Structure 1
Amino acid sequence: MAPHLLAVAVAVAAIIATVSLLAPGAAAYPWPVCGTSNDFEPNSTYQANLNLLAAMLPNNVSASPVLYATAVVGAVPEQVWGMGLCRGDANASSCLACLTQAFQDLPNDCSYNKDAAIYYDPCTLHYSDVHTLADDDTGPTTMSYNINNNANVTSDPARFERLLAALVNATAEHAASNSTRRFATGEADADFDRQFPKVYALAQCTPDQTPAQCRKCLAGLISQSLDGFQNNIGGRVLWVNCTWRYETSPFFNGPAMVRLASSSSPPAAAAAGGGERKYSVFIVVLAVVLPTLAALNLVFCFCFWRRPAPQAKQSQPMYSTEAEDVETVDSMMIDVSALRAATGNFDESNKLGEGGFGAVYKPDSCWRTGVSFVQGVLPDGDEIAVKRLSKSSTQGVEELKNELALVARLRHRNLVRLVGVCLEQQERLLVYEFVPNRSLDLVLFGTDTREPLSWEQRYRIINGIARGLQYLHEDSQLKVVHRDLKASNILLDVEMNPKISDFGLARIFGRDQTQAVTSRVVGTYGYLAPEYLMRGNYSVKSDAFSFGVMVLEIVTGRKNNGSSHKSGDLLTTVWEHWEAGTVAELVDPSLGGSFPEGDVLRCIHIGLLCVQGDPAARPVMSSVVTMLGTDTVTLQAPSKPGFFARKSGTSTTVSADDGSI
């Protein structure tokens, strides 16, 4: 048996052996399922971490374009992993209300169980001290829940079973292959039954799964459960990783995505010689599922044979394909002559700034590139800036492709938006939304003559950067590690809201990937986490370190790699004052003492938590956002910051002309 089919068989057998509940009728939601492995104590660290999860996860899920999110709070062994998923036809408000209610109900229904799940019609919540992976064959099988409606189809049960098998498998295939939400609905005509003339179906996986993973999950559930429903008029199987359902009356919102025509000649109904052969539903399911898997296996092998061997192992996006990326970039192409005209052939008077990768220009006079763009202004009125990569730029073709593929697919108010691309006449031009207040480092450390940042503005910048990173690390369709977070890569809009920029060094992680290792350390001196600088290990926690450095810079108004620190660097200076209880003395003097001391000290505390030497001790960004949003969460005591590499008072690394390694 092929390896992937064997895995399906193992998963199916495991699920059959551990399905926990079978209700004799369509009972009312919700349906909680409690784990049996571990318990936690009242008022324990696990309880506190669970409370933090409840404060952040419903908002994260309802704000996600796929109505799905996961979050991790705390450190092992008291770490809580949680996931929330709303049905693909739900809206954001009903999703938020459902998950908020779920966090009220589930801890009561499963008191002090570390592992628990609860199912409602519009949403599912699961939390545990063990991570559930998208490609986990068996997953938390004790978290499954079966429901069937005992009323039966009487006209032609065998025919109904065949029609149902065809419908649910077609719906499952659509969910796996044709939807970013991994969700589909289906409808079929049962014209042989006057009492129940139609059948409706639904299939859904968690959106972090690849099409193959989703297909495998649903195939396992359908094949092990469909036969058990026999000719019932309704049934569903609810599981953390995937779910499916059918009814003889409508139960989903909107039109069906999959439509099967008249069942007068349903699939697998006609036998040789014209007689009708009665098939087991389980066999019908396998007849549909196994050829599909075999065909996919053949396609995979063919593609693998045709594809050249990769030069190095790279993390792959979970939601996108190369074709989709190419199509996205192609749709953003702008003619080079238009951009030359816009910038006065890249005249020095239009230059906004320059770094190691090239210069950035702001178009000046009115121009037109056709129906899509007006010179310097987008159709919706937003201004633009043109990034011209220099021929000697340290950003090579791979970094450029990486930035294009990444930024074109990311959408968040705290990320700079890419709106156009030009790759003509040996030019490499990227067109971004224009962010008028330039970069954070110029405002904090430059010769800007404007009023210094107020505390309110500084806090908004810290909070905005944290939210942008949370989106990159946890909430976006891609799990992204930036690798070059620094004050010069934080741009400020007209209201001084921060926008993370420059994704040329960023890397995409798999959803279950925690870290990667490189022999080519890139980034900027002063912001690199010690494990990355010394061993090449990078992760979301190395981004957290860079964020912590920026927090301390924003509060103190001092550079980490500056020369004005008696102790050698900002982190050591802040830590020494923290231990002495005099850290308030380091607050930027330009604030003139006008700041809420409690809020400032809390930000310094969070900054120190993020720059701890042990990556596991640093908080994830969703926890940081929660810490910044409330003063009711007790912060753990920070440990000593990671060292700041110096040799005879200078950097031990070799820097490019923009400070990048």
Structure 2
Amino acid sequence: MRSSGIFLILFFSVFLTYLPSAADADFRFKCGENGKYTANSTFGTNLNLLFSQLSATADFNYGFYNLSVGQSPDQVNAIGLCRGDQKEDACRSCLNETISELVQQCSNCKEAIGWSEFCTLHYSSQQLFGSMESSSPFILWNPNNASDPPPPPSLPSPAQGNGNESNTTRTIIITVVASIVSILSIFLCIWICTRLRKPREIIETVEADEIIEAEFLQHDLATVRAATNNFCDENKLGQGGFGAVYKGKLPNGQEVAVKRLCSGSGQGDLEFKNEVLLVAKLQHRNLVRLLGFCLERDERLLIYEFVPNTSLDHFIFDPIKRAQLDWESRSKIIRGIARGLLYLHEDSHLRIIHRDLKASNILLDKDMNSKIADFGIARLFVTDETQGNTSRIAGTYGYMAPEYAMYGQFSIKSDVFSFGVLLLEIVSGQKNNCFQNGENVEDLLSYAWKNWRGETGLNLIDPTFRNSSTAEMMRCIHIGLLCVQENVADRPNMAPVVLMLSSNSTSLPMPSQPSFFMHSIIASEMSSSAGNNSSVSDLKKSKEEPLPLTNNDVSITELYPR
């Protein structure tokens, strides 16, 4: 970057020294005085080759072109520059037109420079980098009439003036031109640095049209405060590891849910806006829709569509409300979650790993359709990425895949594991880490596996609908066990899972043992070292130091740019 800035400064210095004495033409040129070449000479061949390769092989990252062809004394050197707002195709077209003009206007010249409104090109038999041209200075002036021009100062003619006065005038002109060059170069370098800077770990940068979109999505803090009655407790819908959620009503009457993010996230304004734009582009009936955001003072607020029936955990884990969800409703919820997760993994413009899929992050609309929510710790992948690693574990104990909890390795298969746990919870109506079996409390995965092996899977089904047809319920238990297998490669992707759930004719492979033994080790170490309600975000990855994780009710969030 520093060397590119030096090249640009040198180029502008050369460029301004060749400015013509009039500005009344669209294209201007100046033929150099370094001699002529013959048509069939080596220099002529090298020049033609340079012209054919210059724009075709150049790197457009900076809008700056340079190329050398041949060996001294027949070497040809060229540099070119396009105006900063020119796209790649327009830039190359302008350079090619400049080449055509110079071939006609400066026929057989060993040096020439041409410039138009959009680009500039300079070729020479001499080296163009590392030296500054200071001869033949020219000045551009404004040819328009001034409304009230001052009386022009009288200048001595060359015949009347002496040599010192001429030298002084020349020095002043050169000094002014050099100052202008320096100022323009500094501003150009700042502009390029700003243009090329990419936020840390951000995959998609905010372009001009996206900035307009961001402004359209942005709400001022006063409006959000008024909508939530200044974030009063009466409007508080819930509290998670990533912040509190409040119900609100916008001036147009639309009901919304406002998530007030925790302060001190370490995420910059640009990264926050960029991430909001990415999530706002996710459009699926089984994802909660992001409507806007607020970034003002120390506040970072996310504005979502309001979903009236709260979250899934308020139903399936409640001894009274669970009866409101019959098997048909639960089956529809399961299929909706699977379709939403498939969209995140394969059908959206980026591959997105949710990393915190659980019952409390599944919202239910007025028709009890499921919507995946809370992308606070989601990771964005480009389409050819399949997995990632982190030294800071974020999520909820009980839903974490073992490779993520122990080693920080996450992928779409870690989301599949969480889906499998959630599926078994929906069928059983009980939390994964406290399955009630008579007077005994067991781990859900171990209990499911034990009953599956013993062909007593009916013991896992929620008693509120055991009298219903159980074939589909048993199939869901089978699919859930496929998703929570300990070996990552054995778990299916979400595409075959969606197919398994929608077609009873699709045969299911036999599941292998889930990773409940590893869960038991972690739970034992956690209870002995940190207590049942421990909450730690900086988690180590070594086997020798087991990870302290959260319980089912609290998420650990990783508040860093993604």
TM-score class normalised by the smaller sequence: 0.5 to 0.7
- Give the corresponding residue for 1:497: 369
Is residue 604 of structure 1 aligned with residue 477 of structure 2?
Answer: yes
Where does 1:601-640 land on structure 2 (aligned, <5 Å)? 601-640=474-513
- Give the corresponding residue for 2:86: none
Alignment deviations for residues 523-564 of structure 1 (CA, whole Å, 9 cap, x no partner):
001000000001110000000000000000001101002263
- Give the corresponding residue for 1:191: none
CA-CA distance at 1:632 after TM superposition: 2.0
In 2, the alpha carbon distance for the partners of 1:588 and 1:500 equals 23
Is residue 363 of structure 1 aligned with residue 248 of structure 2?
Answer: yes
Identity %: 50
In 2, the alpha carbon distance for the partners of 1:402 and 1:635 equals 41
Where does 1:260-339 land on structure 2 (aligned, <5 Å)? 272=103, 307=197, 314=201, 317=203, 321=206, 326-339=211-224
CA-CA distance at 1:605 after TM superposition: 1.0
Where does 1:425-440 land on structure 2 (aligned, <5 Å)? 425-440=297-312
Is residue 590 of structure 1 aligned with residue 467 of structure 2?
Answer: no
Is residue 541 of structure 1 aligned with residue 436 of structure 2?
Answer: no
Retained in 1: the 8 A contact 2:353–2:380?
yes
Secondary structure (helix, strand or coil) at the match of 1:472 reads: helix
Where does 1:72-221 land on structure 2 (aligned, <5 Å)? none
| TM-score normalised according to structure 1 size | 0.50
Alignment deviations for residues 180-235 of structure 1 (CA, whole Å, 9 cap, x no partner):
xxxxxxxxxxxxxxxxxxxxxxxxxxxxxxx9xxxxxxxxxxxxxxxxxxxxxxxx
- Give the corresponding residue for 1:80: none
- Give the corresponding residue for 1:653: 548
CA-CA distance at 1:573 after TM superposition: 0.3
- Give the corresponding residue for 2:32: none
Larger Rg: 2
Indicate which of 221, 228, 235 corresponds to 1:343.
Answer: 228
Retained in 1: the 8 A contact 2:242–2:376?
no
Change (3 A) 1:593 1:477: same
Retained in 2: the 8 A contact 1:356–1:656?
no
CA-CA distance at 1:568 after TM superposition: 3.0
Alignment deviations for residues 547-602 of structure 1 (CA, whole Å, 9 cap, x no partner):
000000001101002263547310000000000011122111122422342x1111
| TM-score normalised according to structure 2 size | 0.58
Alignment deviations for residues 33-85 of structure 1 (CA, whole Å, 9 cap, x no partner):
xxxxxxxxxxxxxxxxxxxxxxxxxxxxxxxxxxxxxxxxxxxxxxxxxxxxx
CA-CA distance at 1:327 after TM superposition: 4.5
In 2, the alpha carbon distance for the partners of 1:352 and 1:460 equals 25
- Match for 2:234: what amino acid? S
5+ unaligned residues in a row in structure 2: which ranges? 1-51, 62-88, 91-95, 106-188, 533-546, 557-562
CA-CA distance at 1:450 after TM superposition: 7.3
Secondary structure (helix, strand or coil) at the match of 2:524 reads: coil
CA-CA distance at 1:483 after TM superposition: 0.7
CA-CA distance at 1:356 after TM superposition: 2.4
5+ unaligned residues in a row in structure 1: which ranges? 1-164, 171-176, 178-210, 212-257, 260-264, 275-298, 369-373, 378-382
CA-CA distance at 1:409 after TM superposition: 2.1
Change (3 A) 1:428 1:444: same
Retained in 2: the 8 A contact 1:610–1:619?
yes
Secondary structure (helix, strand or coil) at the match of 1:362 reads: strand
Change (3 A) 1:490 1:403: farther
CA-CA distance at 1:402 after TM superposition: 7.3
CA-CA distance at 1:387 after TM superposition: 1.5
- Match for 1:647: what amino acid? S
- Match for 1:655: what amino acid? T
Change (3 A) 1:332 1:402: closer
CA-CA distance at 1:401 after TM superposition: 5.8
Alignment deviations for residues 385-443 of structure 1 (CA, whole Å, 9 cap, x no partner):
1112344x8x6536966752442221111111111211224322211000111001111
In 2, the alpha carbon distance for the partners of 1:575 and 1:656 equals 22
- Give the corresponding residue for 1:551: 423
- Match for 2:468: what amino acid? S
- Match for 1:468: what amino acid? G
In 2, the alpha carbon distance for the partners of 1:349 and 1:563 equals 33
CA-CA distance at 1:448 after TM superposition: 5.9
Change (3 A) 1:450 1:534: closer
Change (3 A) 1:331 1:615: same
- Give the corresponding residue for 1:414: 286
Secondary structure (helix, strand or coil) at the match of 2:260 reads: strand
Change (3 A) 1:656 1:273: same
Secondary structure (helix, strand or coil) at the match of 1:331 reads: helix
- Match for 1:646: what amino acid? A
Secondary structure (helix, strand or coil) at the match of 1:622 reads: helix
Retained in 2: the 8 A contact 1:400–1:504?
no
- Match for 1:659: what amino acid? V
Change (3 A) 1:590 1:479: same
CA-CA distance at 1:328 after TM superposition: 3.6
* Equivalent pairs, count: 376
CA-CA distance at 1:325 after TM superposition: 5.6
- Give the corresponding residue for 2:260: 388
- Match for 2:267: what amino acid? V
Change (3 A) 1:474 1:384: same
In 2, the alpha carbon distance for the partners of 1:657 and 1:581 equals 29
Indicate which of 514, 517, 521 corresponds to 2:386.
Answer: 514
Change (3 A) 1:609 1:498: same
Where does 1:449-528 land on structure 2 (aligned, <5 Å)? 449=321, 451-528=323-400
- Match for 2:247: what amino acid? K
Change (3 A) 1:521 1:450: closer
In 2, the alpha carbon distance for the partners of 1:548 and 1:304 equals 45
CA-CA distance at 1:510 after TM superposition: 2.4
CA-CA distance at 1:462 after TM superposition: 0.9
